Amino acid sequence: MTAQPDTATIRATAQRLQGAMLAAGAVSVEADILQPAELLLDLYGEDIRARAYVTHDPLRGELMLRPDFTVPVVQAHMNGGADPARYTYLGEVFRKQEHRARGQERPSEYLQLGYEVFDRANPAAADAEVFALFADLLASLPLRAATGDINILMAAVQGLTTSDKRRAALLRHIWRPKRFRALLDRFGGRQAASAARTAMLAAFATTPAAALIAGVGGFVGIRSDAEIAARVAALLDDAALPPIAGEQVVMLDQILALQAASPMALAALRGLAAVMPALTPALDQMEQRLDALAQRGVDVAALAFEAAYGRTTLEYYDGFVFGFYAGGRPDLPAIASGGRYDALTRVLGRGRSIPAVGGVIRPALVAALQGGGA
């Protein structure tokens, strides 16, 4: 086990790394430690409440100790940042730990160094810029890089021959693999409807929704009878649909299981795109990114690609995703991670949006690995 570096060493490491980000053209930005909880909860759902410290202010209501910088930095940018813009930030973030450490204690307060690029000119080049910068900064450490692309998964779902509602349901759960699997198995006819669902559909077939609702008596809650009736109709529509074709489900499974060096992965995906052309635009972007990475000196032939990588992070990445991990240290979280989050800028921009990609480094882990004779 490596010795814990002291605070001064961690801060010096962070400042050295941030110097490289400033040299790359980034502007240094700050963010409040106390962030409004409501916005973060709306974006991330209850998972963030379980991971962030929530506190209460008598005037401002629920506040969270900054769990990351991405949201405040995007907000500040959408309220009048330069276009294009590059930002860097360095400060503490706070994360509750729900489990006692089995080896090394995971800190609930640690420095986070970030780099974010808002640039509409060439997203593939921006992806490559962020990854290559991080790879350079971490080059002296024995790290393994992982990459993925959520956009390819979304394109694969969009390419399924089925109803818009089914595609939307699957897209909504890309970041929740278990529910995604259950939906896909049901839509694909691999899993029969539950007994409860079958009984419900039988009742809908013989009795109008309004009569079923009236028959219950005791209407409670703000969800209206019209909403209930609308979903009954949607369930009946869905039950009448044919299952998603078996070969499409198999193809989605193949994509989700794909792990290979990037050029091999791209070739395999190109093969699948021959029968699922909806993949092609996302694969073109992947190819452009690989070219841009190669131009920046990244050894693309050895760069690992996992199609399912990034599915279990908090859900705002919707394109390229990456992480750097310490070899032989599965007890450590990612030393650095990041990705593309175009949709988040749309949500926070109230109508406006800008392609965005960025990542964070944990300086304490970098310092620990350097101190450990790495």
Partner 1 sequence: MIRIGVPSKGRLMENTFDWFRARGLAMQRSGAERAYAGQISGSDDAELVMLSAAEMPRELAAGRVHLAVTGSDLVREGLADWADQVRQVAALGFGHADLVIAVPMVWVDVETLDDLDAVAAQFRRIHGHRLRIATKYHRLTHGFLRDQGVADYQLVDSQGATEGSVKNQTAEAIADITSSGDTLRDNHLKVLADGLILRSEATLFASCHPMLAGDQAALAAFVARHGLGG
Listed residue (177, 173, 350, 172) closest to 256, CA to CA: 177
Is 346 a binding residue for partner 1 by CB under 8 A? The answer is no
In whole angstroms, what is the distance from residue 178 CA to residue 122 CA? 34
User: Which segment (28-36, 182-190, 279-287, 352-360) binds partner 1 by CB under 8 A?
Assistant: 182-190
Q: Residue 298: which residues within 8 A CB-CB, separation 6 or more?
A: 128, 131, 132, 135
Q: Which stretch binds partner 1 (CB under 8 A): 59-67, 124-132, 199-207, 288-296?
A: 199-207
Part in contact with partner 1 (CB under 8 A); list of ranges 85-93, 206-214, 253-261, 327-335: 206-214
Of 41, 256, 294, 314, the one binding partner 1 (CB under 8 A) is 41
Strand partners, 65: 34
Q: Which of 6, 104, 231, 264 binds partner 1 (CB under 8 A)?
A: 231
**Distance from chain centroid for Cα 85:** 22
Phi/psi for 109 (5° steps) reads: -140, 120
- Phi/psi of residue 227, nearest 5 degrees: -65, -40
Roughly what angle, to the nearest 10 degrees, separates helices 280-295 and 150-158? 160
Interaction mask 235-264, partner 1, x per CB under 8 A: x-----------------------------
Among 1, 56, 58, 178, binds partner 1 (CB under 8 A): 178
Cβ-based nearer residue to partner 1, 199 or 275: 199
**Which of positions 74-103 make contact with partner 1 (CB under 8 A)?**
98-100
Compute the least distance from the CB of residue 198 to partner 1, in Å: 10
Among 3, 46, 58, 330, binds partner 1 (CB under 8 A): 46
Token pair recorded at residue 112? 């986070």
Would you count residue 202 as binding partner 1 (CB under 8 A)?
A: no
**Three-state DSSP class for 195?**
helix
Dihedral sign for Cα 150, 154, 159, 160, please. Answer: positive
| Alpha-carbon gap, residue 175 to 157, rounded angstroms | 13
Shortest distance in whole angstroms from residue 219 CB to partner 1 = 5
3-state secondary structure of 291: helix
Among 177, 243, 271, 327, binds partner 1 (CB under 8 A): 177
CB 290 within 8 A of CB 304: no
CA distance 349 to 336: 27
Among residues 20, 76, 125, 212, which is the contact residue for partner 1, using CB under 8 A? 212
Among 60, 144, 190, 223, binds partner 1 (CB under 8 A): 223
* Contact residue for partner 1 among 19, 45, 61, 246 (CB under 8 A): 45
Which residue's CB is nearer to partner 1, number 218 or number 373? Answer: 218
- The SS3 of residue 55 is strand
Q: Is 220 in the site for partner 1 (CB under 8 A)?
A: yes
User: Is 61 among the residues that bind partner 1 (CB under 8 A)?
Assistant: no
- Give me the least distance between CB of 253 and partner 1, in Å please: 18
Contacts 24+ apart (CB under 8 A), 160-164: 160/244, 160/248, 160/252, 161/244, 161/245, 161/248, 162/187, 162/241, 162/244, 163/237, 163/238, 163/241
Site string for partner 1, 285-304 (x = CB under 8 A): --------------------
* Per-residue H/E/C for 355-373: CEEEEEECHHHHHHHHHCC
The answer to whether residue 106 forms part of the interface with partner 1 (CB under 8 A) is: no
**Of positions 19, 142, 219, 275, contacts partner 1 by CB under 8 A:** 219
Query: What is the binding site for partner 1 (CB under 8 A)?
Result: 41-42, 45-47, 49-50, 98-100, 169, 172-173, 176-180, 182-183, 186, 194-197, 199-200, 203, 209, 212-213, 216-223, 225, 227-228, 230-232, 235
